Amino acid sequence: SIVTGGANGEVKQFEVFRDGGGTLRHWPQLGSQKLQRRVHRIDAHEGAVTCLHADATKIISACAADGSIMGYKRSSGEEILRMAGFDANLSTIAVSNAALVCDGMGETLCLHDFSEVDEELDAVLSHD
């Protein structure tokens, strides 16, 4: 699948596949179409998405304009993380199982350690 972040603050997911003729196609193709077992569109931010991370269970997005980092379940679009207060230089995120590294705090890189809540987060992500 492909996950995109837009200038309008939306995050979208698309499934990519080859049709019978071997041409790459994406689904959904129209705004009215839906994905099965996944949310297609999330209104994530009040400005352009500047950073994006997606793995099998979650999407993490950031927006310099509203100074936020948001996390969502890929299956339902349910919000699982909200961080605010970052500056207009928020342009980088790196995500592992239990940590998030970002800029957007002046000239400081921030390491957010979620290892204490990792089991709780796994439990939230596994129940749809």
pLDDT at 8 over 70: yes
Can you give the pTM of this predicted structure? 0.81
| 31 vs 116 pLDDT, higher one | 116
What the block records as the tokens of 1 is: 């699948």
Instruction: Among 8-12, 24-28, 79-83, name the one with the lowest average pLDDT.
Output: 24-28
Which distant-in-sequence residues (6+ apart) come within 8 Å of 75 by Cβ? 37, 38, 39, 57, 128
Distance CA 97, CA 117 (A): 11
Q: pLDDT per residue over 21-71, tens digit each? A: 878 777 766 666 666 666 778 899 999 999 999 998 899 999 999 999 999
